[in-house]
Amino acid sequence: MNFPRSVLLLTALVISAAPTWAQSAAEQPTVIESQQLDMRSSETETTSLFTGNVVVTGTNMRLSCDRLEVIAVRTPDAHAAIGNVEKFKSLIATGNVLITQGDREAACGRAVVLPGDDKIILTERPVVTDRGVGWTWTGDELLLLRGERQVRGTNVRIVGPPVKDLGFDKDKRVEPAQEPAKQP
């Protein structure tokens, strides 16, 4: 599938501006593949809509979904079809969303990436799994913050590795506590 150079440049810039969970990977080109692309520009924004088996790969990340909408703020240029992209307002991934970075994975029905706020909001049955620490979070909504191993959410359920048994051994005899010596 061949896209005009300006489309590939815009999409590479959009995805590279998205918040990331990991900070120390060697940079790699961003590649977006989808069955369809619809890109439109107004005086102030460029909206790119990728649909059908959308897969984004780049530096230490992979995102797949059914639909990806990218909204970028642009500087008007009467002669340019796309214009100069200044900053990205949002990336909205919907339908079977799966985001993988290193040992962390997020799955949900909808992910809203807000680069200006350095956060990703996961809804529609989100699940975040961090294999590095053995924890899984689910909830109505989960919030991931850029550059931080932090998850916030509502109606959250967390499943983690087993905690050591802190109970007592019923077969072990317990000596009664001795009273401290009285001071004269």
- Interval 128-159: pLDDT, tens: 999 999 999 999 999 988 777 678 999 999 99
Q: What is the mean pLDDT of the chain?
A: 80
Q: Is residue 106 part of a domain?
A: yes
pLDDT at 59: 84
- Which of the residue ranges 15-29, 95-109, 151-165, 169-183 would you say has the lowest mean pLDDT? 15-29
Whether residue 17 is predicted with pLDDT greater than 60 in this model: the reply is: no
Q: Is residue 110 part of a domain?
A: yes
Confidence of residue 9 (pLDDT cuts 50, 70, 90): very low
Whether residue 16 is predicted with pLDDT greater than 90 in this model: the reply is: no
> Which segment, 91-100, 112-121, 159-168, 173-182, is predicted with the most confidence on average?
91-100
- Which of the residue ranges 40-44, 50-54, 132-136 would you say has the lowest mean pLDDT? 40-44
Total number of domains constituting the chain: 1
**Percentage, residues of the chain above pLDDT 90:** 41
- Which ranges of the chain would DSSP assign to H, the alpha helix? 5-16
Rounded distance between C-alpha atoms, residue 27 and residue 49, angstroms: 25
Q: Is residue 28 part of a domain?
A: yes
Question: Which CB contacts under 8 angstroms, 24+ apart, belong to 31-38?
Answer: 31/56, 31/57, 31/58, 32/8, 32/56, 32/68, 33/1, 34/68, 37/3, 37/7
Q: Is residue 163 part of a domain?
A: no
pTM: 0.71
Q: Is residue 144 part of a domain?
A: no
pLDDT at 68: 97
pLDDT at 32: 85
pLDDT at 24: 52
Q: Is residue 79 part of a domain?
A: yes
Q: Is residue 127 part of a domain?
A: no
* 89-99 mean pLDDT: 95
Q: Is residue 181 part of a domain?
A: no
**pLDDT: which is higher, 88 or 136:** 136
Which structural domain, as residue segments, surrounds residue 9?
5-116
